[in-house]
Amino acid sequence: MERFGRRGVGLVAAATLVLLAGAAGWAYRAYLHALEPPRPGSSEAVVVRIPQGASTAEIAELLHRRGLIRHPLAFRLLARAQGRDGRLKAGVYRLSPGMAARAVLDKLARGEVLTARFTIPEGWTVEQIVDHLVTRGLVERAAFRAALDRAAATWPYLPRDREVRAALQEPLEGYLFPDTYRVPVDERGRVADPDQVVRMMLDRFREVFGPEEQAEAQRQGLTVHQVVTLASIVEREARVAEERPLIAAVYRNRLERGMSLDADPTVLYALGRTSGPLTARDLQVASPYNTYRHPGLPPGPIGSPGRASLEAVLHPADVDYLYFVLSPDGSGRHRFARTLAEHERNVQAYRQSLEERGG
């Protein structure tokens, strides 16, 4: 009887273990099922905002309400198992009920927020950049302008002279570096933080024109602002990449000789334009940016120069040219000259080609 009793207890214990193992297996299968996509095969896009400071539990509830995960507890357990509990990043995300919980968790842990991509071409002015971002619906004009003003207040490369600084048409002109950017956006596809966009573009300038370039400028007796100003003119003038160092050399030679730059792009900037012919009256415009009337550099840049134009100013060609004009062959190249007489012949050839083409 005693043996039978012990055997009975053993059977009960074994049966209990089997039941527990079965329950554990069932629970594990239920857990795995809870991590599957709520709607397998769905390609529907759901945009959801994860608030700043939200806990994993709050995020799980939000995702569940939006139909993006099957069960909040399973999502929380997965986050804990992967060491990601409390490490999910705020922002706006594009998710789908066709995604498994693991994929959703990966996106939130990596911070793959909704973004927009935009490109700023070399030579664009601040006004062109603002217009582009506003037209794209990425920013509101007033908010982005306010962000530019805040950044300009502490930008270290602007001239210290108050009169020169006051003459700047756009304080950050030339420093919003031309490049392709990807920025976080909200549910409407609009930039949530305009200051972040401005910082991104200014940081890119600092990256390209870094300590080495700044030291080289200082060695040559140039400030960062002077280099960027001259580079912006080179950017506007050069139509063929390999001519940038030649054009930079012309302007640096004229500056060294105390000659006026006579740069058409600066006059266009003073007139609020970026292209088109200039008349004799245009060349008389009363503006410190008119380099026909005012010797030396204008108060500041007239657009955003790219890396190649900045390098051309720091490393101009070793030539003694003082003049250039577009070549009459329509190639976009220029004819360079050492003397005024030679330059006038080149100008005459260019004008004659325009007349022959009906220009």
pTM (two decimals): 0.84
pLDDT digits (tens, 9 = 90+) for 297-330: 999 999 999 999 999 999 999 999 999 999 988 7
Closest CA to 303 of 225, 229, 241: 229
Q: Cβ of 59: how many Cβ atoms within 10 Å?
A: 23
pLDDT band at 12 (very low <50, low <70, confident <90, very high): low
Provide the Cα torsion 76, 81, 85, 91; round to 10°.
Answer: -80
pLDDT of residue 42: 92
Whole-Å CA distances, 9 to 5, 17, 22 = 6, 12, 20
pLDDT digits (tens, 9 = 90+) for 130-183: 999 999 999 999 999 999 999 999 999 999 888 888 999 999 999 999 999 999
Helix, strand, or coil (residue 181): strand
Share of the chain above pLDDT 90, in %: 82
What is the rounded CA–CA span in Å between residue 304 and residue 122? 6
pLDDT of residue 10: 57
